[in-house]
Amino acid sequence: MASDKVHLTVAQGSKECHAVYLSCGNIKKALRTKISAHTWMLVAQIPIAKFEPSKHQTLFTIRALHQCLNIIVANLKKCAVTAVDMIDPNGCIRSVHTFLAAYIADLPEQQFLAGVRQGYAPSSYAEPSSLGSPRPHRLRRGEETLLTIQQIQDELAECNAQDDIGLFEKLAKSHGLNGVVKPFWRGWYLSDDPSIWLVPDILHQLVKFFQDHVIEWARKWLTDEELDKRLSVLQPRPGFRHFKDGYTKFKQHTGKETKDILRVFLALIVPTTSGITKAVRALIDFIYLAQYDSHSTVTLQYLQDSLDGFHKHKKHIAESGVRDGPRRKGEFHIPKLELMQHYKRQIELNGSAPQFSSDQPEKLHNVYVTTYYRATNHKNYAEQMCLGLYRAETIYFASDAFEWASGLDWTAKDDWDPVETEKSFQEYIVGRSLATPTRNVFQARNPLCNETTAFQLRQKPNAKELSLQDVQFRHDVPNFISDLYQYFLGFTGRAQRGADLPFNSLNTWWRVRVQLRNPQDSDTLLPPQVIQASPPFEVGDTVHPGRYNFVLLRRGSTGDSNDADGYYGIQGETSSSCDEHFANYADVLCDSGCRIAQLRVIFVPNINGNVTPFYAYVQPFRIASNAKGKVDPDTQFYRLVRDLRSDRTRKGLVIPLTDIWRPVELIPKFDERCNRDWNCDNAVECSKEFYLNCFADKPTFIEVY
């Protein structure tokens, strides 16, 4: 189940309700989380009424919510005890028991559902003064909550005050309860314990926590001006929000915007106190690990170790003064920190956390509630909304039936088998209900791919038949021609001036789409990503700056057939100064000898009209320290510098395009104050040192660190 408060009116009025949704836990999570798959249904809209006296408004609202939910789930409670025969999508009859597996809700809603008061943890006995403890508190079991409610009622009955609502609410709050008398889950067989079915919520418990607390701390560590400047100079990356005007100038931010800040946040706050950096790193690790689609005992231990690492170093955050004040007093009494202590237990019980994120009911509001409310005349709108939903559902299934029927051979209808015909229709309906699949670039007509990555380029090049000198000038790669000689002839043009390349012009492309497989499920494809290698160009009077993104190359991509050593930009052992927790991570870069480079040119040589492979010209990076593989002890990021020749110009390599593994993100290493001459167009060219950002996206976090 899922529920959330939804505002029906926009910018005027105060009409709101609790929308309640229902789905089946037997549906695969990859399908159930796709709103377009229609795996959720709206079962109720619970009104939020105004009560008298108003001083008990919250209490009456909570009681009304539970009473309405009890009506909604009444038949489900009966079915939990006595099995009911139901027909599955394949037409088979199943004997079904209905238990409450999970309830998706944000923190205030979870407190309402569990029957606890505001400021208390919904699934444990953590009180406001003990929140933020490094160890989880005892679980708040449903039977104990019901027993406490009964004891309060008995106590009031002894003094003939059982009808005194104010006294009941006062006694309930003294026990950490909100005053509900009959929770909707009481008597629900195997579902009467909220500590089991109140599941983790990535959006509000982690992302919103980061926005409300950690980002606010950073604003005090750096100042708003410095934070905005650092954000604005980062290289724009296709598919992610770029904050060209900073972050602090706006008061409200969406969850997606906060996630885009989260990706680069750790590199933004450096340099700062070592303990603060370690605490933030551990917290971001926890947020990313909690979003794994599948877990093992090892990754669950990483999850717990990350949270322990935050609690170990959080004292440094308090020492910075960001938790000072008459209420905070340097402590971390935050309910969401207590909820994080139960992530490992909840994932072991109910499965991975992303499937329970509360952004699902928020998206469902647009599909089932607000859209149909705005189509009414706002008078007696409930009946009009129900009629609209009924019509939409009828049209949806009717269109499926008509489309299915259009593919039948009606000339042979006398020979149809009724059973097979019904089965064919059921299979068609199930197929239509599936979410739109991700485009498979690996199965294109003429796929350009390697073992891990598929590449897609536009049919026509962005620039056709450019001379080698033009490419060298446009893409600002002064050693491009000599590196072409090195790759195709085995020596530089300066060494053998009498030799010529087998071509004198190139076709160039300015971007390439790459598609990777899900690192936790090789049968699932990730959406394609764009890698840019675009030189500056003009459109009318507007000059667009060049964009050269960064890539991770596969092992063995030297670009030099004569390089016997095999140049690898990142290899070796991790630093011995790393924390014990971070030393547990499998360091793919160190083990495999992969390397980082900036993609400068994507080209195909013009050789007498023959079809030739796609090539890439890249400028590699190397580890900043002398010890190979060393990472920063606080951020656990690789510190990189450009690999230079003896004349201090950048090294360049020509490689097959298919030697690219995946896009990565490098972030300039900031000083105490960001250089005011930097902007998003020149920062990566002006910076002398970079961090390899393992938080660039979730697949990168899984595979790179």
Percentage of the chain exceeding pLDDT 70: 90
pLDDT at 325: 79
Mean pLDDT in the chain? Answer: 87
Query: Is 577 a residue whose pLDDT tops 50?
Result: no
The alpha carbon dihedral of 274, 280, 284, 286 has a sign of positive
Q: Are 578 and 636 in contact (CB under 8 A)?
A: yes
Task: Give the pLDDT confidence score for residue 568 in this predicted structure.
Answer: 34
With a cut of 80, say whether residue 260 has pLDDT above it.
yes
44-66 confidence digits (pLDDT tens):
999 888 888 788 899 999 999 99
Under the banding of pLDDT at 50, 70 and 90, the label for residue 574 is: very low
- For 662-682, letters b (16+ CB in 10 Å) and e give bbbbbbbbbeeebeeebebbe
The confidence score (pLDDT) of residue 415 equals 75
Contact 461, 509 (CB under 8 A): yes
pLDDT for res 398: 87
Residue 81 CB contacts under 8 Å (≥ 6 apart), including other chains:
97, 189
d(CA 97, CA 79): 5
pLDDT band (50, 70, 90) for residue 87? confident
Banded model confidence at residue 607, pLDDT cuts 50, 70, 90? confident
Q: What is the mean pLDDT of residues 636-648?
A: 91
> 377 and 317 in contact (C-beta within 8 Å)?
no
Q: Where are the domains of the chain?
A: 2-199+356-374, 202-349, 381-433, 441-664
For residues 566-590, give the mean pLDDT: 35
| pTM of the predicted model as reported, rounded to 2 decimal places | 0.90
The three state secondary structure string of 378-439 is CCCHHHHHHHHHHHHHHHHHHHHHHHHHHCCCHHHHHHCCHHHHHHHHHHHHHHHHCCCCCC
How does residue 611 score in pLDDT terms, banded at 50, 70 and 90? Answer: low
Cis? peptide before 271, omega within 30° of 0 = yes
With cut-offs at 50, 70 and 90, classify the pLDDT of residue 302: very high
CA nearest neighbour of 547 among 234, 245, 231: 234
Percent of the chain with pLDDT over 90: 65
Residue 495 pLDDT > 60, yes or no? Answer: no
Residue 566: its pLDDT value, please?
34
pLDDT in tens, 202-225: 999 999 999 999 999 999 999 999
Q: What are phi and psi of 77, to 5 degrees?
A: -65, -40
The DSSP result for 655-691, as a single string, is EEGGGEEEEE-EEEPP-SS--TT--TTTHHHH-S-EE
On the question of pLDDT at 473 being above 60, the answer is: yes
Find out whether 48 and 61 touch, Cβ atoms under 8 Å.
yes
pLDDT tens per residue across span 392-416: 989 988 888 888 888 777 777 777 7
Separation between Cα atoms, residue 86 and residue 70, nearest integer Å:
22
CA distance 231 to 234: 6
> Residue 421's pLDDT is what?
77
Tokens matching residue 559: 């670009």
Contact between 1 and 110 (Cβ < 8 Å): no
3-state secondary structure 162-224: CCCHHHHHHHHHHCCECCCCCCCCCCCCCCCCHHHHECCCHHHHHHHHHHHHHHHHHHHHHCH
Contact 433, 38 (CB under 8 A): yes
10 Å Cβ neighbour count for 59? 20
- The mean per-residue pLDDT over the stretch 259-263 comes to 95
Per residue in 507-562, pLDDT (tens digit) is: 999 999 999 999 988 888 999 999 999 999 888 778 888 999 999 998 655 544 33
| Rounded average pLDDT over 272-278 | 92
Element holding 111 (H helix, E strand): helix 107-114
Mean pLDDT score, 313-327: 89
Per-residue confidence band for 434, with pLDDT thresholds at 50, 70 and 90: low
Alpha-carbon gap, residue 299 to 284, rounded angstroms: 15
